[in-house]
Amino acid sequence: MTRLVRWWWTRPPRLPYAGRVLLAACLGTVGLLGIVASSSGQSGGTAPASPPTKRPINPGPGDLTTSFPSSPALVAQGKTLYDNGCSSCHGLALQGQRGVAPALTGVGAGPVDFYLSSGRMPLQGPRVEPMRARPVYNAEETHALIAYITHAGGGPKVAPAADPAAGDLSQGLQVFTEHCAGCHQVVGRGGLTIGAWVPDLQRATPLQIAEAVRMGPYVMPHFDSKDIDQHELNSLVRYVLWTRHPSNAGGWALYNIGPIPEGMVAWFIAVVALLIVARLIGERTEGANS
């Protein structure tokens, strides 16, 4: 057997060298494409006809809320903006469109303010994940849209809010670690779950954080006040704001994401510095070219 293998191994090749490399590359690419192609549909298993969805949680008694200006003029302005910018997906009567966009009836002010003020809506296409971008609508236009959508679709006209100054940092760390760090990373540097990219929280405003916690945008779960009450929400928001400038007593923080940049520093700064020193101390191999 070994002799056979050795004979086959040491036979002179029939293809030229370049041909062999090309053949290997082609076979490899075909194999890879085959595997990657078969990976589609990995995000969730078989889909039933109308899968489960969730609705935002309305603010209850005792919850801190913020209200938005409203007037008939604002509602009318909102209607114009809506018809031009949102109705193609969400429908002229806010009824949604099957397979394209959900209905906006009853969502309330919180989700509308969250998606618009963070620039997540309008979306490039229905299957694109909503991500933070430069808002298309300014504050006045946003208020107009909120006024119209809550007027025409119903739902609370106030959005859940939080007061970070009233929160406790230590409680915020605990609540955040238990509910949020699994996706958002313990100091809010973002990450992923299977099925979604998870944003870092470095640019979220206290209002947006409160709105997101209560509504659960995209595939994020939501948390009502029986789970995270107003004081805990205040603490959570205060903690998230703190993560923008965490206590980095050790020096340059390397973006606070842990061992990956630390390993890079160890190799590309410390080891490289020591290699330079070694080169200074030692000699090169001598010869005609040194």
Partner 1 sequence: MVGGAAVVSLISRWAHRRFERGVRYTEQRLGGAPMFKWLMRYVFPDHWSFLLGEIALYSFLVLIATGVFLAMYYVPSSALTVYHGSYVLLHGQQMSEAYESVVNICFSVPAGLLLRQTHHWAANVFIASIVLHLMRIFFTGAYRKPRDLNYYVGLTMLMLAILEGFIGYSLVDDLLSGMGLAIAYGVALSIPLIGGQLATLVWGGQFPGNSTFFARLEIVHVFLIPLTLLGLIGVHLAMIMRQHHSQFPGRGRRERNVVGTPMWPAYALRSIGLLLAVTAVLFLVGGLIQINPIWQWGPYHTYLSENGAQPDWYIGWLIGALRLMPNWELVIDGRTVIPNPFWGGVAFPLFVFGVLYAWPALERRFTRDQRRHDLLDRPRDHPTRTAIGAGFLSWVVIIFAVGATDRVYYRLGISYVGEIHFWRAGIWVLPILVFFITRSAARALSRSDARPLRGWQGAVMRRDLDGIPRVLDESAGDEPGEVTEPPVGTRPGTDG
Partner 2 sequence: MNDGPKGLGLIAGLVVALRVVWRTLRGRPASSAGAAAPVTEPPRGEDPRQREIPSDRRAETWVALLLFAAAACALAFIVFYVIEQFDTQLLGLALGGAFALLAAAAIVAGKMVVPQATEVEERDELLDAAAAEEVVEMVEAGGEGISRRGLLTCATCVAGGAVVAAVATPVASLGPAAKSLHASPWRRGVRLVKDVTAEPYTADEIEIGSFYTALPEHGDPEALGAGVLLVRLPPRYIHLPVSRHGWAPHGLMAFSKICPHAGCAISLYRYPTYAPTSVAQPAFTCPCHYSTFLPGRGGEVVFGPAGRELPQLPLMVDGDGYVRAAGDFDADVGPSWWGVRRS
Burial of 65 (0-12, 13-18, 19+ CB in 10 A): middle
Residue 14: CB minimum distance to partner 1, A:
16
Residue 263: CB minimum distance to partner 2, A:
16
Residue 269 and residue 272: Cα distance in Å, rounded?
A: 5
Q: Which of 1, 4, 5, 35 binds partner 1 (CB under 8 A)?
A: 35
Give 160's strand partners.
Answer: 65
Nearest to 84 by CA among 145, 129, 126: 145
43 binds partner 1, rule: CB under 8 A: yes
5 binds partner 2, rule: CB under 8 A: no
CB neighbour list of residue 132: distance below 8 Å, 6 or more residues apart: 118, 119, 120, 199, 203
Peptide bond into 12 cis (omega under 30): no
36 binds partner 1, rule: CB under 8 A: yes
Rule CB under 8 A: which of 162-181 touch partner 1?
169-170, 173-174, 177-178, 181
Rule CB under 8 A: which of 82-111 touch partner 2?
98-102
Quick note: the x/- pattern for partner 2 over 8-27, rule CB under 8 A, is --------------------
Which one of partner 1, partner 2, none is in contact with 268 (Cβ closer than 5 to 8 A by kind)?
Answer: none
Residues touching partner 1: how many (CB under 8 A)?
A: 74
DSSP state of 191: E
Residue 206: CB minimum distance to partner 1, A:
18
User: Which residue type is seen at 64?
Assistant: L
Residue pointed to by tokens 């640019």: 203
Alpha carbon separation from 156 to 77, 122, 127 (Å, rounded) = 20, 22, 28
Which one of partner 1, partner 2, none is in contact with 218 (Cβ closer than 5 to 8 A by kind)?
Answer: partner 2
Quick note: the x/- pattern for partner 2 over 146-185, rule CB under 8 A, is ----------------------------x---x--xxx--
User: Residue 207 in contact with residue 109, Cβ under 8 Å?
Assistant: no
1 binds partner 1, rule: CB under 8 A: no
Structure tokens at 155: 């739902």
Q: Give the interface with partner 2 as residue ranges (CB under 8 A).
A: 42-48, 50-55, 57, 98-102, 126-127, 129, 174, 178, 181-183, 191, 193-196, 215-224, 226-227, 248-254, 269, 273, 276-277, 280-281, 286-288, 290
